[in-house]
Structure 1
Amino acid sequence: MPGATIGGMTTDGRAVPPMQAGEQATLDGWLDFYRATLVGKCTGPGDDLVRAAPLPPSSLTLLGLVRHLAAVERNWFRIVLAGEEVPPLFHPDPETGHDGGFELDGAGLAEALALWEDEVRRARAARAAAGPDGVGSLAGRPVSVRWIVVHMIGEYARHCGHADLIREQLDGRAGV
């Protein structure tokens, strides 16, 4: 576990996932840990730097990661799990299958974080409504809430690693 812990929190304020809990609390704890990690990595450098892509040839930016993960939250929890008929937040890339959001428009970090926070709030509600045995539908095939949460943990872990590399190149800050 990165950073020291004090009373169930890391020294940077993230809640440590429970070390002895049931499946649902453990999975939700890890997903929330990575959600908080993303915010920690993407806040602080200012709007100019969050738009920078310092790792050529990659065009990844911190702002793009926040926007993309808002789209991923919407897709997996609201559309796939809850069956809501809401449009995608951004234009998905048909070649890669990505949920979009990596491209930058006029939005700044505050707007992107507000959008992401709203999608996380709605995702938590969809997750709670589904319960531990909930099942959604992806292209007509059933997908369990467990699969979705594990997929989201992997999605966040991968993108938090990207954010860590980007942030280190931007201002030398590694880790959260």
Structure 2
Amino acid sequence: MDDSSAQTGNSQPPWEPPLAGSETQHLAASLTRLRTTFRWKADGLDTADLSRSVGSSTLTLGGLLKHLACVEDEKFGISLSGAGYGPPWAGMPDYPGPPGAYTFDIDGWAAEDLYRLWDEAVRRSEERLRTALAADGPGQRIAMGADEGLEVSLRRLLFDLLEEYGRHTGHADLIRESIDGRVGEDPPEDWHAVSGSSPVGR
């Protein structure tokens, strides 16, 4: 995002938040950093590896890619503006109602489709957030809660998504380490996604 990627030095990777930026810059850049770390943890795997879980948990990296793609469309669609679910969620066979309950199901999904799903959802979110912030900043009222007479800000939505990515990036840490030993807090500074066409880690 134009106003969230300003850096104080040339040596920092593009996903590193600024050292002394505005509130909007820090919120958006922190989200970019978490998205990038999550995508790095999930990157470069085949369908079988994206379906692997750890211990008694049923969580998989493929399921997390699908789930977080849905969360992106929920937060920056329904919650932000009230817009309904569009493709690929709307009208999916055998799943009436909101898609949240079945997003972890990746049966029949190939690795390239899961990467594409997440990548495209993040692109949509980045554009929607950029437009919203340019219009009225993080304090603006969003659609979430309006039906109940609540006034919810875009700032709250951003914190909710940061919390969601924080939780699931921790899950991804454990799953990826069990697959091939990949560990680390952040991607290498020169990291680029090798699977799909990720909008992060460019």
Partner of 2:132: 130
Q: Match for residue 108 of structure 1?
A: 110
Residue 80 of structure 2 is aligned to residue 81 of structure 1: yes
Greater strand share, 1 or 2? Answer: 1
Describe the SS at the equivalent of 1:26.
helix
How has the CA–CA distance of structure 1 residues 99 and 152 changed in structure 2, closer, same or farther, with 3 Å as cutoff? farther
Aligned-residue offset at 1:99: 5.6
Q: Deviations over 1:119-155 (max 9, x none)?
A: 1111112212222233222252332111111111111
Q: In the alignment, does 2:162 pair up with 1:160?
A: no
Per-residue CA shift, 1:48-75, capped at 9, x if unaligned?
111111x232100000000000000000
Aligned mates of 2:21, 2:182 — CA distance in 1: 33
Secondary structure of the corresponding residue to residue 151 of structure 2: strand
Q: Work out which structure has the larger RCO, using CA pairs closer than 8 Å and 6 or more positions apart in sequence.
A: 2
Which structure 1 residue ranges, 5 or more long, are not aligned? none
Query: SS of the residue aligned with 1:111?
Result: helix
103-112 vs 22-31, which moves further: 103-112
Residue 114 of structure 1: CA displacement?
1.2
Change (3 A) 1:44 1:144: same
How high is the sequence identity, in percent, across the aligned residues?
A: 33
Name the residue aligned to 2:192: none
Change (3 A) 1:92 1:62: farther
Question: What is the rounded CA distance, in whole Å, between the counterparts of 1:18 and 1:99 in structure 2?
Answer: 36
CA 1:76 to 1:42, structure 2 compared with 1: closer, same or farther past 3 Å? same
Aligned residues: 165
Residues 10-25 of structure 1: pairs in structure 2 closer than 5 A: 15-25=15-25
Equivalent of 1:170, from 153, 157, 179?
179
Residue 68 to residue 93, structure 1, CA distance change in 2 (3 Å): farther
Look up the match of 2:158: 149
Which residue of structure 1 lines up, in the alignment, with residue 3 of structure 2? none
Q: State TM-score, norm by structure 2.
A: 0.73
The answer to whether the 8 Å contact 2:74/2:85 transfers is: no
